[in-house]
Structure 1
């Protein structure tokens, strides 16, 4: 068992795991005589870890006088990780070897409470090792897990939050409670159905885990701004429901600039602009340079402005995707300049299905519950 322990880590380096998560580099010369810890280097080398990569990115780890390389590898192996996974984890987050074995085991038990499947947990650790090995905030992590479980959120959602937005689990639970309260109050205050609130909240947190790091008042500020622009309560609920996690990312300055630009380009009234935004809420958060490029691309292909007004969701597609899809449709005998732009919309899979259903110049929307598209006639 490798336990290189000639001296205890200083308080600053004991927090290395958490500090690195925030981009702070701890001291890097604690080894004897300022040299690398040979036992640590050899142990990592025996695990097929790329030492050169660690030296280049996080060389300070190799200078620490206390490391638990074999213990960390053994715990990962007990979880079900094979040699290749262990090597990748330690290459990506070598600070893991500075965690005491009892701390890592406590993390394992904690994470297993929301991700009991070992294979799934290993997959999370491989993808987000820094999140798993942030052992210095164990108490806050546990309190936040209990809080989100009390909201009856899906375990998969909680584990995703812990992995992709670890900062939100490292802070006091009271801060997350304030954000969630603000989100749910805004949703219910706009007439949202309390029975659907849990599903809405799960989708919101899954779509944008970092929403928890936003000021609690951000969503209400945005609601007030849009209400002042003429959106009704029902329309605001539609926007909040569609944008979910992105709604709190909006800024009043950014929305004001985007709305002013869009109205100028589309040459429409305020009321018409609101209708367009309700069809394409993404207009609220795209910066004007991106919108300008997309308008220019669409108009440059011969598409008329009234077509964009009718189907503004085409503005959600990048210029590369738009040009590719227009070319594909043209090869199928469909001209977007005279047809509906709905043929351009949808995911990659949706679009391919649409292409297969095109016959001559007749295109029906992919999602039409009244008249589903017919298969091409022979």
Structure 2
């Protein structure tokens, strides 16, 4: 698959150096642990060893507000185990001033439907909630900006949670990228009446698109146009890649396209058809594609099968081999059958596998066989 957003989110965790952004100027660093902090975390059943191993510097800070953080979360409906998990993952939260935390709660509740949902967001993205008060004005301005675009509140909440940097920076930078996306959409033939829905879907699928320079988008679209993709096809790629086209560059795409064409042995026109069926091919480096092509061919799958169903290249070799073995055990030979059954998520495959099994096990009706009757 395209680079997993979940993997990308790890990059958003604040791996702060000696003085993280959440550390207030008045905080002091001691050579010994703050026992009040340690005792409060113990009382909350927080994994202290995990904190010491990953972010031990937090335990040396003073002042800290461990109990205040716990009370805030508890007041929003968070259970004891949830509070313990949040503080084990993001112990920097205890360094946030109580007034700052309450201000953040009010800010998030302006777009979050209820406190229960906000607790769920904090549990998954604590660094997005427990942030420096110096960013609050930018956060507030960006919320107002995205609301002016008539974006769904849930989309805005998702953006704040998964791509917090886009809300910490000046609103003008987000406006520049949004306008670049809207302009590209319209210039490629997109329907203005559907632009809001298109933009909302794109931002929902790839919140990090806002963090890219608009020039990158322009250069990549020009490169693909030079490769023969029509205006309509470019719009299709921009939408299919969920904005990840902004994370590519002409050099990497050129290498990938050359490798794919040489490996498959196809024309440029045929290669464009393959890309349109599986835009993710543009995204993978040659090393990954080489490994996946080789694995498929070792399984007896022909190149013509791959070109007919190129989306199979989105799956890792381990997943493909596992699914092939399961299908083989049921008598399905991928060397002669369609590769569509291999595609999709684990749930998609299990559904396809179940239907295949059902077809094989359902008894066939023989119209000339005698009917069984009572003796």
CA distance in structure 2 between the partners assigned to 1:348 and 1:226 by the alignment: 32
Distance 1:70 1:358, change over 3 A: closer
Between 342-351 and 257-266, the greater mean CA deviation after superposition:
342-351
* 2:171 maps to 1:178: no
Q: Shift of the alpha carbon at 1:97?
A: 1.6
* 1:321 matched residue in structure 2: 319
1:358–1:139 CA distance, 2 compared to 1 (3 A):
same
From the superposition, tell whether residues 43 and 190 of structure 1 become closer, same or farther in structure 2 (CA, over 3 Å): same
C-alpha deviation, 1:158, in angstroms: 1.1
Q: Give the Cα separation in 1 of the matches to 2:347 and 2:364.
A: 22
In structure 1, stretches of 5+ residues that fail to align are 1-18, 364-374
2:79 corresponds to: 82
Q: Using the TM superposition, give the Cα deviation of residue 147 of structure 1 relative to its aligned residue in structure 2, in angstroms.
A: 0.9
Corresponding residue of 2:126 = 129
The 2-side partners of 1:52 and 1:322 are apart by 39
Question: Which residue number corresponds to residue 215 of structure 2?
Answer: 217
CA separation in 2, counterparts of 1:65 and 1:141?
27
1:107 aligned residue: 104
Consecutive aligned runs of 4 or more in structure 1 exceeding 6 Å deviation: none
2:18 is the counterpart of 1:25: yes
Distance 2:353 2:88 in 1: 45
Q: In structure 2, how many angstroms separate the alpha carbons of the residues matched to 1:312 and 1:35?
A: 58
| Aligned counterparts of 2:314 and 2:94: Cα–Cα separation in 1 | 44
**Shift in alpha-carbon separation, 1:265–1:31, aligned structure 2, 3 A:** closer
Separation in structure 2 between the aligned mates of residue 355 and residue 289 of structure 1, nearest angstrom: 30
Residue 106 (structure 1) shift: 0.5
The SS at the match of 2:242 is helix
- Please show how residues 1-378 of structure 1 align to structure 2 within 5 Å: 21=14, 23-26=16-19, 30=28, 34-136=31-133, 137-358=135-356, 377=364
Distance 1:55 1:333 in 2: 53
Cα pair 2:125 2:161 within 8 Å, conserved: yes
Query: Structure 1 pair 20/121, CA: closer, same or farther in 2 (3 Å)?
Result: closer
Deviations 1:5-60 (A, max 9, x none): xxxxxxxxxxxxxx98253321899356x332222222222222233322222222
Does the 8 A contact of 1:358 with 1:376 survive in 2? Answer: no
Give the 3 Å change call, closer, same or farther, for CA 67–263 of structure 1 in structure 2.
same
Distance 2:56 2:344 in 1: 46
Question: How has the CA–CA distance of structure 1 residues 334 and 47 changed in structure 2, closer, same or farther, with 3 Å as cutoff?
Answer: closer
- Displacement of 1:187 after TM fit? 1.1
Q: TM-score, normalised by structure 1?
A: 0.86
TM-score (norm 2): 0.86
Is contact 2:28-2:63 (8 Å) kept?
no
CA distance in 2, matches of 1:95, 1:163: 17
Deviates more, 1:346-355 or 1:248-257: 346-355
| Deviation readout 1:132-152 (Å, 9 max, x if unpaired) | 010321111111111111111
Aligned residue pairs total 347
Q: CA deviation at 1:70?
A: 1.8
Contact 1:31 1:37 in 2 (8 A): no
Tell me the CA shift for residue 170 of structure 1. Answer: 0.7
Which residue matches 1:6? Answer: none
Maintained 8 Å contact 2:46/2:84: yes
Take 2:13 and 2:161, find their aligned partners in 1: how far apart are those partners?
15
Where does structure 2 lack aligned partners over 5 or more consecutive residues? Answer: 1-11, 366-375
Distance 1:152 1:344, change over 3 A: same
CA distance in 1, matches of 2:348, 2:319: 13
> For the residues of structure 2 that align with 1:229 and 1:334, how far apart are their CA atoms?
39
State the secondary structure of the residue aligned to 2:214.
coil
Residue 195 of structure 1, CA deviation: 2.0
* Aligned CA distance change for structure 1 residues 51 and 332 (closer, same or farther; 3 Å): closer
